[in-house]
Amino acid sequence: MTPSEKLKQLGFELPPAPSALGIYKPAMTIGDLCYTSGHLPVQLDGSLITGCVGKDVDQDFGYNAARQAGLTLLSTLNEHLGSIDNVVQVIKLFGMVYCDPSFTQQPAVVNGCSELMRDVFGEDVGIGTRSAVGVAALPLGVTVEIEGIFKVK
């Protein structure tokens, strides 16, 4: 089963691929590596998921926001590469969580994206390296921002 078929089987729908909100490209491929800029949790209607984990929203809300940021990232890859089926390996995910300074479960939040990648691409291709950090603020008050590096066909 291809990743695009698996995505449908899991019941996920990709949100609209975001346009750059500044002077950058959402994705850039150099050789067989595709680098993505930070992706926000864009919903199907184009709205953003916002809130500070540990203050305004809980860990589960953050997890779901990270999964949605992952879907947004997949939407960009789908547009940039012609299909998410052209991903050969998830190499690295970098997740930033807008959270209260006392919140320390950033990895559990970013698992929302990591588990999505694993479920769509499979264990061998979908699990790469990762960082998960807490930050004092993110653009537009979003709950998470995630960027990635992917090996591609």
Q: Which CATH number does the domain housing residue 126 bear?
A: 3.30.1330.40
pLDDT of residue 21: 83
Q: Per residue in 96-141, pLDDT tens?
A: 999 999 999 999 999 999 999 999 999 999 999 999 999 999 999 9
Q: Per residue in 4-35, pLDDT tens?
A: 999 999 999 999 999 988 999 999 999 999 99
**What residue type is 96 in one-letter code?**
M
Residue 62 has pLDDT above 90, yes or no: yes
Domain boundaries, position 101: 34-152
The structure tokens listed for 38 are: 């930070």
Give me the number of domains the chain comprises: 1
